[in-house]
Amino acid sequence: MKKISLVLSLALLMNIAHAESHGKSKGAHVHGTIKIEMAVEGKSLDLSIDGPAESFVGFEYTPKTANEKKAWSDAESTWNKQLLSKLFILDKSLGCKIVSASFKQEVEEADSINSREAKKEAGVHSDINAEAKVTCSKDLAGQNLVVALKKNFPKIKKLAVELLGTETKTIDINSDEQTIKL
């Protein structure tokens, strides 16, 4: 029994060391999986998204070619300008508007990794960190929100949604669109 515990402990330590050498401590960088946090308070909706850039634009490095720059620009524009018409859809009668939005790519180049072996393995990883604040003319409690991220970013395979409000809900979305009651 002690051997099994020792083996499991060593495997866990090796996994943690590997993750830290790639610039990731406890957070996982899983292609196709996006984490969404939503906070609803009265007439306000705050959105925060974190996930691999590959899931949004198809690559994880800083865009270089014209096609890559267009893919980046399209994704950023969709988030910043079409958030409420394509990605998170609320009933128009609620009078919702985007107050602020940001869509940023955080690139971790292999150059920032110290170990030569880790550099070889790591390559380039990047995440999208996007945020938005939405305000509406009516209270959002009990309203329906259609989450359509997967429909607009087909490389997204799974959405893990944490909805904070009067109660906290965790929802996994595996379909192209899903309606969530706020």
- Residues 6+ away with beta carbon under 8 Å from 24: 125
Residue 85 DSSP label: I
Tell me if 18 is assigned to some domain: no
Residue 112, pLDDT above cutoff 80: no
Tell me if 13 is assigned to some domain: no
Q: What is the Cβ-side half-sphere exposure of residue 111, based on CA atoms within 13 angstroms?
A: 3
- Residues 6+ away with beta carbon under 8 Å from 155: 31, 32, 54, 55, 56, 58
In the predicted model, what is the mean pLDDT of the chain? 81
Tell me if 117 is assigned to some domain: yes
Tell me if 11 is assigned to some domain: no
pTM across the whole model: 0.76
pLDDT at 29: 67
Q: What is the pLDDT of residues 45-92, one digit of tens each?
A: 999 999 999 999 999 888 999 999 999 999 999 999 999 999 999 999
Mean pLDDT of 33-55: 95
Domain that holds residue 145: 27-181
Tell me if 165 is assigned to some domain: yes
Mean pLDDT of 6-30: 40
Burial 33-50 (b: 16+ CB within 10 A, else e): bbbbebebeebebbbebb
pLDDT above 70 covers what percent of the chain? 75
Give, for 16, the enclosing helix (H) or strand (E): helix 2-21
pLDDT at 87: 97
Tell me if 175 is assigned to some domain: yes
Tally the domains of the chain: 1
